[in-house]
Amino acid sequence: MLTIKNLHASIEGTPILRGINLEVKAGEVHAIMGPNGSGKSTLASVLAGREEYEVTQGEVTFKGKNLLELSPEVRAREGVFLAFQYPVEIPGVSSTNFLRTAVNQVREYRGEAPLDAVKFLSLMKEKMKLVEIDQKLLSRALNEGFSGGEKKRNEIFQMAMLSPTLSILDETDSGLDIDALRVVSNGVNQLKSDENATIIVTHYQRLLDYIVPDFVHVLYNGRIVKSGNKELAMELEERGYDWIKEEIDSKATV
């Protein structure tokens, strides 16, 4: 589904990603872990098409297409979904209106008829249950005045509404209390299928107790330096990241 080859990206001339290689197949859950500043969020942003990052080398193919050539909206319509680390508050734009526009523009791209108000509302009701989100929240302006937990729930709710093939969760667990974490991961788990894939970007192992990854990759200094299964995440939780840093840094000096 997704193939990343030797991806280099920089922001304002500073290289952040220095050669990422990753293969994600349908049905898989990949966790990308790593210390702060290792480039985790940059990777998520580059995949979603954030313009501040300049891809200097490498390629990314998504369902056979050159992802890097596509605008952010076309990536979304093709099925890439980024759950933001910091969802943006947008005063004056109602959540419902925004979602209906998004859902229908995605449907139009996929050659599906737009949803009328009634069908849209029933879809919304169905998906709201998934993340236990209150209808009152959705009658407000998008994310405006939402608590941290509500914002993250709203991200997963939007994910459910747009049914993406590749979901990238950027630090979705940060700032969540245990109940919200459970609700959010429960939502993600229910949306998982053999046809879609999930990339979880996180600093902590905690979320991976709820969403079990098939693969765990450690990102350090803009490269994936270690890959394994969920045992690796447990080890990182226990031992921290220093042993990996030391391992890599000592190799570098040799």
Partner 1 sequence: MSTLIKQEILENLLSHTGSGFEKQRASAIDTLRSQGLPTNKSEEYKFTAITKKIEKGIENFEPAAAFTITSDQVKENVFEGFDGVILVFANGTYLPSLSSEIEGLEISHFSEKPELAIGSIAKPEKDPFCALNQSTFEEGLFIGVPKNTQFRKPVLLLNFYQANSGHVIQPRLWIEAGDFAEITFINHTVNLSSSPYLLNKVVEIKGGINSQIRYYRLQNDGENAIEISNLEADLHKDGKFTSVTISLSGDMVRNNLSINILGSNSEANMYGLYLLNGKTHVDNHTNVDHTVANSESNELYKGILADRSRGVFNGKIFVRQDAQKTNAFQQNNNILLSEDATINTKPQLEIWADDVKCSHGCTTGQLDEEALFYLQARGIAKDHAKGLLLYAFAGEVVDHITDESFRDYCIAQVHQRLGSNF
Exactly one of 87, 187, 213, 222 binds partner 1 (CB under 8 A); which one?
87
By the rule CB under 8 A, 133 interacts with partner 1:
no
Q: In Å, how far are 115, 117, 161, 193 from 121, measured between CA atoms? A: 9, 6, 11, 24
Q: Dihedrals φ, ψ of 94, to 5°?
A: -75, 145
29 Cβ contact list (under 8 Å, min separation 6): 192, 197, 198, 199, 200, 211, 212, 213, 214, 215
Exactly one of 33, 162, 191, 216 binds partner 1 (CB under 8 A); which one?
162
Tokens 């220095």, located at residue: 18
Q: Which of the residues 34 through 63 are near partner 1 (CB under 8 A)?
A: 48-51
| Per-residue buried b or exposed e for 168-193, using 16+ beta carbons within 10 Å of the residue's own CB | bbbbbbeebeeebbebbbbbbeebbe
Smaller CB distance to partner 1: residue 79 or 213?
Answer: 79
Choose one: 24-32, 68-76, 145-153, 226-234; the region binding partner 1 (CB under 8 A).
68-76
| Nearest distance in Å: CB 52, partner 1 | 8
| Nearest distance in Å: CB 93, partner 1 | 5
| Nearest distance in Å: CB 81, partner 1 | 8
By the rule CB under 8 A, 112 interacts with partner 1:
no
By the rule CB under 8 A, 73 interacts with partner 1:
yes
Exactly one of 37, 91, 114, 145 binds partner 1 (CB under 8 A); which one?
91
| Nearest distance in Å: CB 91, partner 1 | 6
Q: Could you count the other beta carbons within 10 Å of the beta carbon of residue 227?
A: 14
Smaller CB distance to partner 1: residue 52 or 179?
Answer: 52
Angle between helix 117-131 and 178-191 (nearest 10): 130
In 3D, which of 152, 117, 159, 119 has the Cα closest to residue 137? Answer: 152
By the rule CB under 8 A, 111 interacts with partner 1:
no
Exactly one of 25, 69, 109, 114 binds partner 1 (CB under 8 A); which one?
109
Euclidean distance between CA atoms 98 and 49, whole angstroms: 20
| Nearest distance in Å: CB 87, partner 1 | 7
- Chain residues binding partner 1 by CB under 8 A are 48-51, 71-73, 75-77, 81-82, 84, 87-88, 90-93, 98-99, 101-103, 105-106, 109, 141, 158, 162
